[in-house]
Structure 1
């Protein structure tokens, strides 16, 4: 909790962040003919100048204080009404008031500054040793308008500060969350690798049919978990500022890598029909591991979201101008609402219980495409859905 002195300093800083205040005080003096005008912060304990224009050498600067009990502003704090005095000596209410005689003024005007929540902040005030004509709608209306304007700006500054505090807190939470994801993903790799290696060893043994099915379930689950961990780590890396990193090879053997991914997924979906049409006529300058990761996400989605008796078609070609990869399945049409957020993190659309995941696969895939200065697009009709990766070949690709 802030100390009262710190609160006052914060109030002074807030007033001086409002560019209009200096002009307001100048206009007040010019319009009324009075030599001193100020914005004062008035609390139950203190009267402090936040901004001032002093043409009569009253002698108090920003941050200066008056004893609260000696000010009329203390009374305004209690009743929250403006006080206007044209000529103290002729005013029945203030002719014998201690404040004018103590500070030597004859004209006085002070209007309360009330914040949106009803809190009394302070006053916009002016004084002068000479009488002035203040009790008229023009002057009082001007002061009221200026006081309201100052209150509006103070409320806006407070809302902005509140938003910035909340944003900072959210950012800190986001960083901690992403650090947790990164650490968790890294630490999960070791036991998962142990499980995967053990299933490979067991699968080479003479197993009965039931045990073989169990080993296959463990192996398939390990493969799926590995993909989830990879996506978690890439997501956390991107969020923490690292982004998707690439290690390009001038003549990447993408055909071999794509077939490797197909074999891995075909082992998990042995009954699915996967047709391939590849035509690699030009070297591809890319990160093969990343393209394979992208392809694995697309193909796994295609197999997950299409009927078991349908065919998944994969086409890929390279030319002097581009590398193009398309994965097509005959699943349900993707709804328009889901299409809008398909490549956003944690977006999974409508899925079956068996298809639940983190919703990071397509996001990571799109980030890999972006890192290659390429695009990942989707088209979906009632007949088929097609995800297409396109990496154009430019001079920058080979730097």
Structure 2
């Protein structure tokens, strides 16, 4: 198992390591001791006992080429130096010149699966008689003990992450089943009821068919949202069909007209300044915008206008939807973009609670971000993404 020390959540996560260093210093009289994560790229202190004022603390990094631990990494064998100045191998090495030590011992730390983790080192500014079998055996024993604790802590961290992920998935499944069972059942029952009535009273078709069509459209919208949710959570995210769009403003204006027609009592003020072409999936951007407008209609003050702004510059596209109304509590902000979240205690008639989640996923798919600010006077959702996507990273 290969785990970087950062993933083990700093040296404080494994307090036994500092106790090992205390014993090392006490038994050898070496005043500086450290357990370090060592890779081809860097040396990072995991636990430190500094009695010589070197100034290193847990989490500090050093260029690996400036350390003798690099030799331990390459050879997988200990390095023991009684007196650097008379040592033919290390007298001219950069490490004692930089860190001012004369005696030094370092042994490799191998995790239980054989992976090289780092080193257990101890040094002192004065020479010490370290090249003894019993000292080396003791250091090897302490290195094995350190490996055990690092491995155990790493496994614990992994288990906690797995447990948290499974708990989240379990809660999500429960929400999914409850919401799906309730929200899809309503339009389905409406369709079924209308169909039964048509069988008994065909002459009422003109009255009943529009209701059936509305219920069918609502079910289609719910299913579409669920498909997007599944792509975002279970697949590789929302897939885009990008094109260079020169008429994105017309698409946004069409969404505004549709919402105004559906809600004739609501006012929507727009300010569009789209002077640059945008490489995007215009259908998905329209979906994002529609979701934000629907949210503003649902939660905004019906007596105040909804303010829509969209603009471009040479690098980015920005779209914002603002509404007056009660502010969103700060502690609720990060939950707004989670699936099945419903702000303000709204009932299921307002949908599955996936609108903002899907809008956020669309922004992310465009290499952008959907953010919210909310004060006593205004709640504003803002989407911003680059007008040209970045090329995919090479692995």
Name which one, 1 or 2, has greater alpha-carbon Rg.
Answer: 1
TM-score w.r.t. structure 1 length?
Answer: 0.47
What is the TM-score of this pair, normalised by structure 2? Answer: 0.48
